């Protein structure tokens, strides 16, 4: 009986050995920046235009995937889809009080190329906001071709 018990314990130890060795190895794997958890929402400053004609606009991102992508753009980890597009709302947002409109956070996406009908500078949108949603920026979709992220901002 004693021999049988010893054999069962030995067999159990042999089966458990690979399992006990795998756990520490998994725990020691480094977590890539893209796999880190993201705290939503996050705020970013977007520049529109270049040089002295450049204006800034604050964008609120709520999607973990988009926040991760924005941080990768700022760090230089990626150059894919550097421009922003989204549906605008005709109202001032507390985090973007300079302008009478803002992106609806859940609609913001990144792009490489977009159709011309949604391209306009920030100041042009401000100056023609009463026309937005018709022939100008149909569906209130705005995709400034010269948009690029400048920096991440603290939560207001």
Cβ(86)–Cβ(109) below 8 Å: yes
Verdict on whether the full-model pTM lies above 0.85: no
**Distance from C-alpha of 101 to C-alpha of 86, rounded to nearest angstrom:** 12
Q: How confident is the model at residue 12 (pLDDT cuts 50, 70, 90)?
A: very low
Helix (H), strand (E) at residue 23? helix 2-27
Per-residue pLDDT of 51-88, as tens digits, reads 667 799 999 999 999 999 999 999 999 999 999 999 99
Is the predicted pLDDT of residue 4 greater than 80, yes or no?
Answer: no
E-strand stretches of 2-154: 42-48, 55-61, 83-89, 102-103, 109-111, 132-133, 136-138, 141-142, 147-153
pLDDT digits (tens, 9 = 90+) for 19-60: 333 333 333 333 344 444 567 899 999 998 766 677 999 999
Distance between CA atoms of 101 and 17, rounded to whole angstroms?
A: 61
């Amino acid at each position: 009986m004693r021999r049988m018990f010893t054999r069962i314990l030995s067999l159990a130890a042999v089966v458990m050995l690979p399992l006990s060795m795998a756990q520490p190895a998994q725990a020691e794997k480094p977590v890539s920046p893209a796999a880190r958890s993201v705290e939503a929402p996050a705020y970013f400053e977007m520049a529109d235009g270049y040089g002295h004609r450049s204006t800034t606009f604050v964008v609120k991102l709520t999607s973990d995937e988009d926040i991760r992508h924005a941080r990768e753009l700022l760090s230089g980890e990626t150059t894919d889809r550097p421009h922003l597009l989204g549906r605008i709302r005709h109202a001032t947002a507390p985090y973007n009080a300079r302008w009478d409109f803002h992106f609806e956070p859940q609609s913001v996406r990144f792009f490489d190329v977009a159709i011309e009908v949604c391209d306009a500078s920030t100041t042009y949108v401000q100056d023609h906001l009463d026309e937005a949603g018709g022939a100008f920026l149909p569906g209130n979709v705005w995709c400034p071709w010269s948009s690029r992220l400048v920096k991440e901002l603290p939560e207001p």
